[in-house]
Every structure is written in structure tokens, then in C-alpha cells.
């Protein structure tokens, strides 16, 4: 589906403004192809980092713990009902490690090289 800029601005004025605003630009400096080197590079940017639902799920040992995390974040409206449903489906079909390897205690310190 193609939309011209004028129609897009009319339909989505706030999104159009955000997309054209220089303050909201994010520069992509690399593409991660090697997990270990990617994790080390990312570790430099942990200052002020706020974990998301996937970070919490990667700390879980089993499906029961993961479902508790999803339920809690959905109840607090930190994730949408639709996203929670998607996470539950992925958990059921692919398992807890489908969200990534387990993050052990001290994960961020180790990644930062401490």
C-alpha cells in the first residue's frame, strides 16, 4: 500500500512529525552477526538501560516463571494484551529459550567486563 506524504501527514500527524523531527533519529552503526562480540559492544551502553519484557523472560528458568512475568507486566499495562498473547504463544510453541539464552546473575557486569 502506497501513500503520498500529504495523505500520510493527514492520517498520522503525530507520527509524521516524529519521523521528520531530527531529535528522534537513531543512528545504526553496526549489524550484529556474532552474538559474543555484539553483547560486548552493547554492554557499553548499559548505563541508564531499562530492561524490557524479553530481558526479564531471559532470566526465567521455566515456563511457569515466564508466564508470571508476562501476567504481571500485562496487569500493570507495561505490555499490551496483544503483545502478551504473542509472548505466551511463542513460549508455548517454542519454549523459554526462544527468547534468548539465560541471563544469569551479574550478566550486565560480566558483559561490561567487570
Q: Give the pLDDT score at 35.
A: 66
Q: Give the pLDDT score at 26.
A: 64
Q: Give the pLDDT score at 15.
A: 86
Q: Give the pLDDT score at 114.
A: 60
Q: Give the pLDDT score at 24.
A: 65
Of 103, 92, 112, 110, whose CA–CA distance to 44 is shortest?
A: 112
Supply the pTM of this predicted model.
Answer: 0.56
Q: Give the pLDDT score at 51.
A: 82
Q: Give the pLDDT score at 33.
A: 62
Q: Give the pLDDT score at 44.
A: 59
Of 49, 68, 70, 61, whose CA–CA distance to 95 is shortest?
A: 61
Spatial separation of the C-alpha atoms in residues 96 and 76, rounded to whole Å = 22
Series of mean pLDDT values for 10-residue runs along the chain (114 residues): 85 85 65 63 63 90 95 94 95 92 77 65
Say how far residue 40 (Cα) sits from the centre of its chain: 18
Contacts of 15 (CB under 8 A, 6+ apart): none
Q: Give the pLDDT score at 4.
A: 86
Do 79 and 61 meet the contact criterion of CB atoms below 8 Å apart?
Answer: no
Amino acid at each position: 500500500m502506497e501513500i503520498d506524504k500529504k495523505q500520510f501527514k493527514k492520517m498520522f500527524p503525530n507520527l509524521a512529525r516524529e519521523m521528520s523531527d531530527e531529535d528522534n533519529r537513531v543512528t545504526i552503526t553496526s549489524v550484529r552477526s556474532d552474538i559474543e562480540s555484539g553483547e560486548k559492544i552493547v554492554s557499553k551502553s548499559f548505563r541508564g538501560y531499562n530492561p524490557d519484557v524479553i530481558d526479564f523472560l531471559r532470566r526465567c528458568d521455566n515456563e511457569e516463571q515466564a508466564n508470571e512475568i508476562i501476567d504481571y507486566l500485562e496487569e500493570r499495562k507495561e505490555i499490551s494484551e496483544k503483545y502478551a498473547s504473542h509472548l505466551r504463544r511463542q513460549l508455548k510453541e517454542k519454549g523459554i529459550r526462544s527468547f534468548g539464552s539465560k541471563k544469569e546473575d551479574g550478566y550486565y557486569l560480566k558483559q561490561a567486563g567487570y
